[in-house]
Amino acid sequence: MKQILNFINGEYVRNTSGKTFQDINPVNGSVIGNIYEAGQVEVNAAVAAAKAALKGDWGRLSVAERCKLLDAVAIEINRRFDDFLQAEIADTGKPHHLASHVDIPRGAANFQIFIDTIKSTATESFNMRTPDGKTALSYGVRVPRGVIAVVCPWNLPLLLMTWKVGPALACGNTVVVKPSEETPATATLLGEVMNAVGMPKGVYNVVHGFGANSAGAFLTEHPDVNGITFTGETRTGSIIMKAAANGVRPVSLEMGGKNAAVVFADCDFQATIDTLTRSCFENAGQVCLGTERVYVERPIFEKVVAALKDRAESMKPGLPFDKDTKIGPLISKKHQAKVLGLYKTAKDEGATIVTGGGIPDMPGDLKNGSWIQPTIWTGLPETATVVTEEIFGPCCHISPFDSEEEVLGKVNANRYGLATAVFTQDIARANRLAQQIEVGLCWINAWFLRDLRTPFGGSKQSGIGREGGVHSLEFYTDLRNVMVKF
Ligand code: NAD
């Protein structure tokens, strides 16, 4: 059995409490590891190590030296690509094609892209004349914030964690990562990479555990943490924000969504269906940017419903390494119960179930996994639970619309504001909508396409702050103004 330890000050450590919990493979419910839960003692030690590293070798490195280490981290992740792949797949059950094309390569790339950002982003400087006739030069310097707490979800474990650790380290901070209790493996493995490339001790630390009364709360409430970056549910983000208020620490929050797709009758039909299939069902719908509300212009409503039904029914569930597997399980039995509960609610509230609605029949020990059918509903009012609440499963509600104004009102009538995708050949209309839809990200004839130099984040209850490119520097550094008179 794999023993999954905390990584503190460059060393793998158990805990003083002796408390462990199980790492479960969602494909068949088997136990793949024992995770050592960090208590207050371990969290204190991790934060102390991170704080000390700021003043040690790490703090003395030049930007160029720091960047060289980050580049080495990316190279080492790629060299151990298969180890990361196996670990991520065992924790999540996601299909091999997804983990090998998205999770692991992006996990490595996240260390490289911020090298360019930190090296090429200038700070402003202004020259002025002083009242007594002398000259003054005012300029900005970026300084690291200090110890950053990185609290992560389970849906894209390595990718979302390194999306924060990459820029945090590029900016000269140190980090204490709290991976999701469901997916501890790749964050732990990254400790080996850090040691292999000679990262100074204490720069990268990992503490395992849960949220309340566990590692998550101990970390975010710790007075020596100087900033908190979080990805997860909006409810959790709000708790973390309260913890951050104590000591007035800055937060960056990437949270839930109830993302819409808007499909006009003039869209490129096949391309739109291809994209919608991904946005609704990829990663078993466990993507924060995923579509759960589809609005279709009435003339092609039936055609879109039929085409998406065909696609949903062709999503073959199966083992991650089977070539023809199109969809993996949900992350856990607990999440499966939540999604099934919402499938029932949809039925109780009067939905027409176009396809799915339950659990697929799986062979052998896969019966013990947390599988779920891709599901499509129609016929619900905009106030229905599955039209308003985030589900985080492979499902969507499809409804018709008749005008741009009507659909805009429906898309915006939600407390979340993460992402939207608009499908049309009328580029003026697409841009008009993109500027009025209340979201952090709007795609036109695309989904999940990202240039990592651009801002990423949510509006309304989907988030606070933006990360990506220079926007990450805004969160991971303090901008100091220096004024010199001469
Ligand atoms: P979650 O909020 O349950 O957990 C996220 C992390 O927070 C975990 O590590 C958890 O242990 C920790 N946590 C929980 N309670 C805590 C507390 N009281 N104090 C400190 N830490 C605590 O989210 P999840 O179920 O892991 O992930 C799914 C959610 O994440 C969905 O809502 C999804 O939309 C969102 N998400 C958002 C983005 C984005 O970029 N906006 C990306 C991925 C996922």
- Kindly report the average pLDDT of the chain as a whole number: 98
Cα 251 from chain centroid (whole Å): 15
| C-alpha closest to that of 482 among 143, 127, 137 | 137
| b/e per residue 131-149 (b: at least 16 CB within 10 A) | eeeeeeeeeeebebbbbbb
Query: Cβ(153) to ligand 1 under 6 A?
Result: yes
E-only strand ranges, 52-99: none
Beta strand 20-24 with 375-378 is unpaired
Query: Cβ(155) to ligand 1 under 6 A?
Result: yes
Tens-place pLDDT, residues 163-190: 999 999 999 999 999 999 999 999 999 9
| C-alpha closest to that of 49 among 1, 9, 97, 3 | 9
Q: Model-level pTM?
A: 0.97
Spatial strand order of the sheet with 125-129 comes to 125-129, 135-144, 477-485
CA of 363 to the centre of ligand 1 (A): 32
Query: Cβ(414) to ligand 1 under 6 A?
Result: no
Please tell me the predicted confidence (pLDDT) of residue 131: 97
- Name residues whose C-beta falls within 8 Å of residue 441's C-beta, 6 or more positions apart in sequence: 289, 418, 419, 420, 456, 458
Check if 349 is active-site.
no
Where do the structural domains in the chain lie, given as residue ranges?
2-255+462-485, 260-444
Please tell me the predicted confidence (pLDDT) of residue 67: 97
- Name residues whose C-beta falls within 8 Å of residue 445's C-beta, 6 or more positions apart in sequence: 267, 268, 271, 272, 275, 421, 422, 423, 424, 430
Tokens of 396: 């969507």
Query: Cβ(112) to ligand 1 under 6 A?
Result: no
Tokens of 152: 């992560």
**Topology adopted by domain 260-444:** Aldehyde Dehydrogenase; Chain A, domain 2 (3.40.309)
CA distances from 458 to 165, 455, 462 (A): 19, 10, 5
Low-confidence ranges of the chain (pLDDT < 70): none
Q: What is the DSSP letter of 47?
A: H
Residue nearest to atom 8 of ligand 1 (CA): 180
Architecture of domain 2-255+462-485: 3-Layer(aba) Sandwich (3.40)
CA of 177 to the centre of ligand 1 (A): 13
- Name residues whose C-beta falls within 8 Å of residue 107's C-beta, 6 or more positions apart in sequence: 77, 84, 158, 159, 161, 162, 186
Please tell me the predicted confidence (pLDDT) of residue 55: 97
Please tell me the predicted confidence (pLDDT) of residue 407: 98
Tokens of 31: 């136990």
SS3 assignment, position 260 = strand
> In degrees, to the nearest 5, what angle opens at C-alpha 157 toward C-alphas 155 and 158?
145
Please tell me the predicted confidence (pLDDT) of residue 426: 98
- 62 vs 52: CA distance, rounded Å: 18
Q: Which residue of 230, 231, 252, 415 sits with most ligand 1 atoms within 8 Å of its CB, as the best mutation to test the pocket?
A: 231
- Indicate the helix (H) or strand (E) that contains 67: helix 63-79
Report ipTM (2 d.p.).
0.97
Asked if residue 478 lies in contact with residue 142, where contact means CB atoms within 8 angstroms, the answer is yes
Query: Cβ(468) to ligand 1 under 6 A?
Result: no
Q: Which residue of 288, 456, 461 sits with most ligand 1 atoms within 8 Å of its CB, as the best mutation to test the pocket?
A: 288
